[in-house]
A and B are shown apart, each in its own frame.
Chain A
Amino acid sequence: MVTVLVPGALRTEVGGESKLEVQADGTLRAVLDEVDQRWPRLGRRIRDERGELRRYVNVYVDGEDCRMVSGQDTPVAGSGEVQVLPSVAGGSVEQEAPALDGDRILADNFAPWVRELGLTVQETGPDWATLRLPWSDRLAREGGALSGQALMAAADTATVIAVSAARGGFVPMTTVQLSTTFQRPVLGSDVLVTARLTKLGRTMAFADITMTAKGAIVAHATTVYALL
């Protein structure tokens, strides 16, 4: 079984997996052919439609850059490891930050009723995080619109993920202030919640949270956190 290591930037193409197991071995080409077949969304980002490795994708076989060995003819043993990495020369992609497992933080650190909101972490950056609050009829108030309490909980939670992203992992913290303005009703659609830190100090964090549905801002919040 050959192991294929997937870079952070491509994990969304394979359901979040960082490692894939493939049956094929012999050459790198055979391994990548199986990747194409089983995970085409990943495969087409590693090789173009002619089957050539994309210029700014590097593939290492047991730690050796395949371009320094025999390209896609580089031998791969049955227990080999193939690592795919974006090259530093790509120009416009930031260097990969250590991946933050936001969903793991959600699962491990929040009360059951918050987890039941079904929040998922869409993306994190050096000082921000975007969460998705999926629509649920259970979160609607009379009149059918999403209740403000759910949005406030989502904004609060998004701040925790943004601070965790900035700190490189979860740190204990507590909300000191949360102020929300509701600008539009949300009817039947998911809400994207983006928390951006405006200041991160040693003991305090300040964040600005924008909540959008169908591209329009539905609510805006500011939070202050004490870092414990």
Chain B
Amino acid sequence: MTVLLLIGTAKGLFLARRDRVGDAWQLSVPQFPMTGVYAVGVDTRRATPRLLAAVDSSHFGPSVATSDDLGVCWREPDHAPLAFPQDTDTALGRVWALQPGPATEPDVVWAGTQPSALFRSTNGGLTYELVRGLWEHPHRTEWGEGFGGQAIHTVLPHPTDPLRVLVAMSTGGVYRTTDGGETWHPSNSGIKVTFMPDPFPEFGQCVHKVARDGEDPERLYLQNHHGVYRSDDDGQTWSSIADSLPSDFGFAMVAHPRRGGTAWNFPITADALRFPVENRCRVFRTTDAGKTWTPQSYGLPTAPFYPSVLRDAMCVDDNDPVGVYFGSRTGEVFASADEGDSWALVAAHLPDVLCVRAVRI
């Protein structure tokens, strides 16, 4: 089963490809060299998956490119594919998330940006329009800035109800709409903050990542800036699932695409000590919706390991068994073809890995 792995780095996009488990990975030359690729997306609702890449030149600004031939040719419209309307007096800083919509809306693609805003495409991700309902939310002026900037980095459309979408931002927290984006409500009940006087504010949380359960769409897993949570009611309320993790800090969170209760996380020691826990390269998996987490490190480096795994630098494919992938800030990418039980190196010595996405082709 051929897998194509998109690896967005600080200096371009790499494509790694493997035809069969056990084969060596073939790594492309960098595409969009010397641009930061902060988000990639794969739209599998087409006969040939469409690849989407958010490319960000430090000189010439951000843009979104698409490829319909698995990364051989990329295209961009002449006019900016994603830009703030004139009346907002705002310029796009960066695109942080590219998320295809549900199967019932085959041409919808969502984009989360810096500054915190949500955009929607109705032509498969070629061009985007600002979602005014969220931009005009009265809380917006109070949304803050995390270490990486102020951005919406997570967009989770509901798989069967196109009116429901959840976004997460740093800082600001989780917001949900149940009317297709017209109105939005903060949805952080139970998520603690450690950097404000009120530990349970209505909004303002620094959420790092949210993933939706593969079986039960009402169930979500959330990595917070300290705190790991689960929701069983589509994000309305949250409860801690951090007890059996070695640390409640981290960035990445991904869920099994089909089997309920299964998710992966890469714990980091603490906000003030951003090294993997015990300086060991370990992924943690739960198969009981977060009650217990088990380390998975067979095949991963055994020497002290210091780089972080960023919020979008972990992903799964939809093979059976599921493939799991992650990349580090020191340019190593690892893959597991057996749901994390064993790992092998895909590539090393790349620039900082910002995001990974895998697709079966």
Interface residues of A (CB under 8 A from B): 9-10, 40-41, 44-46, 48-50, 52, 54, 56-57, 86-87, 90-94, 123, 130, 189-190, 192, 194, 210, 212-217
Q: With A49-B91, A130-B29, A216-B17 given, is the CB distance from A9 to B60 under 8 Å?
A: yes
| Contact flags B31-65 to A (C-beta < 8 A → 1, else 0) | 00110100000000000000000000111110100
B139-157 vs A, Cβ < 8 Å mask (1 yes, 0 no):
0000000000000000000
B92: chain A residues within 8 A (beta carbon): 48-49
Nearest neighbor of A217 in chain B, beta-carbon distance: B26
Distance in angstroms from B36 CB to nearest chain A CB is: 7
Among residues of A, the one whose C-beta sits closest to the C-beta of B82 is A49
Query: Can you give 26 A-B contacts (C-beta < 8 A)?
Result: A10-B60, A40-B78, A44-B79, A49-B92, A50-B89, A50-B90, A50-B91, A52-B91, A54-B59, A54-B60, A54-B61, A56-B59, A92-B34, A92-B58, A189-B72, A190-B72, A192-B29, A210-B29, A213-B72, A214-B69, A215-B17, A215-B28, A215-B70, A215-B72, A216-B17, A216-B26
Whether B72 contacts A56 by the Cβ 8 Å rule is no
Contact B86–A49 (Cβ < 8 Å): yes
Pick the residue among A10, A49, A56, A87 that contacts B83 (CB under 8 A): A49
Q: Report the Cα distance A13→B176, complex, angstroms.
A: 39
- Does B230 reach chain A (CB closer than 8 Å)? no
**Contact residues in B for A214 (Cβ distance below 8 Å):** 69-72
Residue of A nearest to B84 (CB): A49
Residues on A with C-beta less than 8 A from B36 are: 92
Beta-carbon contacts under 8 Å, B244-263 to A: none
Q: Among B10, B72, B73, B80, which residue has its beta carbon within 8 angstroms of that of A44? A: B80
Q: Would A93 and B58 count as touching, CB distance under 8 A?
A: yes
User: A54-B59, A217-B26 in contact; A49/B80 too (CB < 8 A)?
Assistant: yes
Which residues on the B side are within 8 Å of A54 (C-beta)?
59-61
Give complex CA distance A81, B239 in Å: 63
Indicate whether B350 reaches chain A with its CB closer than 8 angstroms.
Answer: no
- How many Å from the CB of A44 to the closest CB on chain B? 5
| A145 CB → nearest B CB, Å | 17
Inter-chain CB contacts under 8 Å: number: 82
Most chain B beta-carbon neighbours within 10 Å: one of A41, A87, A94: A41
Cβ of B314 within 8 Å of any chain A Cβ, yes or no, is no
Q: A217 to chain B: closest CB distance in Å?
A: 5
Contact of B28 among A48, A57, A91, A212 (CB under 8 A): A212
Given A49-B84, A189-B69, A86 and B59 contact (CB-CB distance below 8 Å): yes
What are the 3 A-B residue pairs with the smallest beta carbon separation, nearest first? A45-B60, A48-B91, A49-B83
Q: How large is the interface on B (under 10, 10 to 19, 20 to 34, 35 or more residues)?
A: 20 to 34
C-alpha spacing A57/B315, complex, angstroms: 35
Chain A neighbourhood of B84, CB < 8 A: 49-50
Report the minimal beta-carbon distance from B325 to chain A, rounded to whole angstroms: 16
Mostly helix, strand, loop or mixed at chain A's interface?
A: mixed
Residue ID in chain B nearest A213 by CB atoms = B72
Q: Is the CB of A57 within 8 A of B60?
A: yes
Give B16 Cβ to nearest chain A Cβ, in Å.
9
**Distance between A92 CB and nearest chain B CB, rounded to angstroms:** 5
Closest CB of chain B to A131's CB: distance in Å? 12
Contact (Cβ within 8 A) A44 B91: no
Among A54, A57, A190, A216, find the residue whose CB has the most chain B CB atoms closer than 10 A. Answer: A216
B361 to A: closest C-beta gap in Å:
9
Minimum CB–CB distance for B158 against chain A, Å? 31
Q: A44-B80, A213-B72, A215-B71 are in contact. Are A194 and B90 (CB under 8 A)?
A: no
- For B10, give its contact among A49, A92, A192, A212 (CB under 8 Å): A92
Q: What is the bound-complex CA distance between A94 and B76, given in angstroms?
A: 23
- In chain B between 66 and 105, which residues have their CB closer than 8 angstroms to a CB of chain A? 69-73, 76, 78-80, 83-84, 86, 89-92
For residue B197, give the distance in angstroms from its CB to the closest CB of chain A.
Answer: 35
Does B11 have its Cβ within 8 Å of any Cβ on chain A?
Answer: yes
B277 contacts the other chain (CB 8 A): no
Residues of B contacting A56 with CB < 8 Å? 58-59
Closest to A86 in B: B59
B204-215 interface code vs A (CB 8 A; 1 in, 0 out) = 000000000000
Task: State A121–B150 Cα separation when bound (angstroms).
Answer: 40
Q: Which residues of B contact A91 (CB under 8 A)?
A: 58
Chain B residues near A50: list those with CB within 8 A: 84, 86, 89-91
Using Cβ atoms and an 8 Å threshold, which residues of chain B touch A213? 72
Answer whether residue B4 sits at the interface, using C-beta atoms and an 8 A cutoff. Answer: yes
Q: In the complex, which of the residues A40, A52, A94, A214 has the most CB atoms of chain B within 10 Å of its own CB atom? A: A214
Give the CA-CA distance A39 to B83 in the complex, in Å.
17
- CA of A36 to CA of B69 in the docked complex: distance in angstroms? 30
Assess whether B118 is interfacial by the CB under 8 Å rule: no
Q: A56-B58, A215-B28 are in contact. List 5 more A-B contacts (CB 8 A).
A: A41-B76, A45-B60, A93-B57, A214-B69, A215-B72
Q: A48-B91, A49-B92, A215-B72 are in contact. Are A86 and B60 (CB under 8 A)?
A: yes
